[in-house]
Chain A
Amino acid sequence: MTIIDVVDLKKYFTLSTPILEMETGVVKAVNGISFHINHGETLGLVGESGSGKTTTGKLILRLLKPTAGKILLEGRDISKISDREFRAIRKDLQVVFQNPYASLDPKMTIQDILTQPLTIHKIVQPLEYSKEVVRLLNLVGLSKKDANRFPHEFSGGQRQRIGIARAISTKPKFIVCDEPVSALDVSIQSQILNLMMDLQREFKLSYLFIAHGLNVIKHVSNRVAVMYLGKIVEVGNAETIFNTPKHPYTKALISASPIPDPDIKRERIILKDEIPSPINIPTGCTFHTRCAECMDICRSNEPELQGLDEHQIACHLVNF
């Protein structure tokens, strides 16, 4: 059973000069992607900066309006319904942000931060608010006495715990985790990752887990989608993707990810140049400008995402 189905989703941002009121370009941040997320699973989304990962997350949460395409939540297209109708669904979709310092209001106590969603979505009776806040704090490894403190009194890891408590306060079905551990120290990272996986098991949550650290993605994901310039170039089971990557971009990403073990010698694939600007997307396969195995067909024809559900690749090198 799928919880999220994304069908041919596109998001274009138009650039314009305010003085001339002219369109000067189009940023194709998300350029026709389709994927699904099953109930209770984690889909990891990887790619370099500028590949469209965060935009994808925001589109699913309806924080951005798609240019084209469908987003189905349990079969219902949430991109087309009115804001009023969506408000009832809002609580099912939650988000954990990258920066725990910027995503908590510095003037609110933890009690207030966690009570707000309870009030808005009428999760529990008003008399139960403080009891519920304590329950949420305990779930994420904080204690009752933390409720009256302000965000600045907490360390980065503790703040991220508060962010997670806020996300699960509305009893969501699905959470977009946008780089939730990138800003944290390594010893804290593992605490937060374990916490998120425990909560997932306990509440049968589904995650879209966005990260650029491949080791983190490998650890948390059941399935992985690799994005490049607004397109999914490879998607499939995490084990398959990491053990037998097929797309040259995925191979390069995995080979560039450092392993904390000096004994392991790997052949490093160095990509030439850097990710092109999404304003001028290369013709044909978007990756052909950096691909070591580029052929003539790659410059003119765009490969389709093909293959079985467990492993799909968009590359002319791969024959089905």
Chain B
Amino acid sequence: MSLLDVRDLKTYFYIDNEVIPAVDGVNFNINKGEIVALVGESGSGKSVTSLSIMGLIKEPGKIVNGEIIFNKEDLLSKKEREMRRIRGKDIAMIYQDPMSSLNPYIRVGNQIAETLIIHKKISKADAKKEAIKMMELVGIPDADKRYKDYPSQFSGGMRQRIMIAMAIACEPKLLIADEPTTALDVTVQAEILDLLRRLMKDNGMSILLITHDLGVVAEIADRVCIMYCGKIMEQSSKISLFKNPLNPYTRGLIQCIPRTDDKAEVLYTIGGNVPYPTDFPKGCRFSTRCPDVMEKCKKEIPALADIGERHLVRCFLYENSEVKKYDDN
């Protein structure tokens, strides 16, 4: 059953009389107990998508179209007051840099307890007990002693654990993890990924994982959406995506990563740069860098089409396969 359903989401930014289509017609859903990865390079709109779900888009940005159905309710029709009750309780978020998302002047334990006091309306003493339990759950040794420490007294990996403890304190149904391991060492990254996987299993939580690292995706995700310039280019199960990548962009992304388990002399490259959002090409967003570009690609944007077994791809190369169309732009 679908926990979150994002339908035709468009989040535009209006800067200097120009329109920046950061998220331009995005569709995807997350089922209960599932990890969906949103993969893309900088400027692909993956973080704006997550902020849209959280209701955190501020001027000059605006959600101009779409629906975000969470738990059968449309989040976009909710008032700010109602959103505040959902945010932190039913949907929680962890960020890339744990140091700048923790308050350096407040003891970490109190920061975790604060969420509990606000959302669960429990006493300070109970919140403290609960917060210590959460710190133990995420693997912080001597949690009752470290409750009183400040963020600066923790290492990067431990700070990310504190962030996770804070996020899961109210047992959210959905956890949005925006590049949760990018700032961490590989050994610590492996531990944090294990922790997320365990929490998902034990608490039946769903995770929206935002990352640019396909290695992390291969480790942990169930399904994957590949984003490029505000649009989803390909969407499928993890296995199907890595076995049979269809969109030339996805193929390029997988091929251009150096791997520890083989030795290619020259790395595959995707030529050029990500276009600026103010001058996206008229046709397919990837047409300026695509190795398989055709005349048609420069004029029209292909639709995201299902080519079987819920493997969706946005590309004219697969136009003649048996398809079921999902949207028309």
Contact = CB atoms under 8 A, between A and B. Distances in A.
**A contacts with B: majority SS:** helix
B260 A252 contact: no
B218 A194 contact: no
A274 B188 contact: yes
Interface of B: 41-42, 141, 155-158, 185-191, 194, 212-219, 238-239, 242-243, 252-254, 256-261, 263-264, 266-271, 273-274
Interface in A150-209: 155-158, 185-191, 193-194, 197
Interface of A: 48-49, 155-158, 185-191, 193-194, 197, 212-216, 218-220, 239, 242, 252-264, 268, 270-271, 273-275
Contacts of B273: 155, 157-158, 188
Given A215-B259, A259-B259, A260-B257, A186 B186 contact: no
Contacts of B260: 214-215, 218, 242, 254, 257, 259
B219 A190 contact: no
A218 B263 contact: yes
Given A187-B269, A256-B189, A274 B158 contact: yes
A262 B141 CA distance: 32
Nearest to B154: A274
A256 B187 contact: yes
Given A185-B212, A186-B41, A190-B267, A49 B156 contact: yes
Contacts of A260: 214-215, 217-218, 242, 254, 257, 259
Contacts of B189: 256, 258
22 contacts: A48-B187, A48-B188, A155-B274, A157-B273, A186-B41, A186-B213, A186-B214, A187-B252, A187-B253, A189-B257, A190-B270, A193-B267, A213-B186, A219-B264, A253-B186, A255-B190, A257-B186, A258-B190, A260-B218, A260-B257, A262-B239, A270-B191
Given A215-B260, A218-B260, A49 B242 contact: no
In this complex, which of B155, B158, B267 has the most chain A Cβ atoms within 10 angstroms of its Cβ?
A: B267
Contacts of A259: 215, 218, 259-261
A261 B242 contact: yes
* Closest CB pairs A-B (n = 9): A258-B215, A219-B258, A190-B256, A185-B41, A260-B214, A256-B190, A190-B267, A48-B185, A187-B270
In this complex, which of B42, B191, B260 has the most chain A Cβ atoms within 10 angstroms of its Cβ?
A: B260
A256 B273 CA distance: 30
B230 to A, nearest CB: 16
A79 B190 CA distance: 39
A214 B264 CA distance: 15
Contacts of B212: 185-186
Contacts of B243: 263
A82 to B, nearest CB: 39
A264 B261 contact: yes
B241 to A, nearest CB: 9
Contacts of A255: 190
B73 to A, nearest CB: 34
Nearest to B267: A190
A268 B186 contact: no
B155 A215 contact: no
Nearest to B265: A197
B163 to A, nearest CB: 16
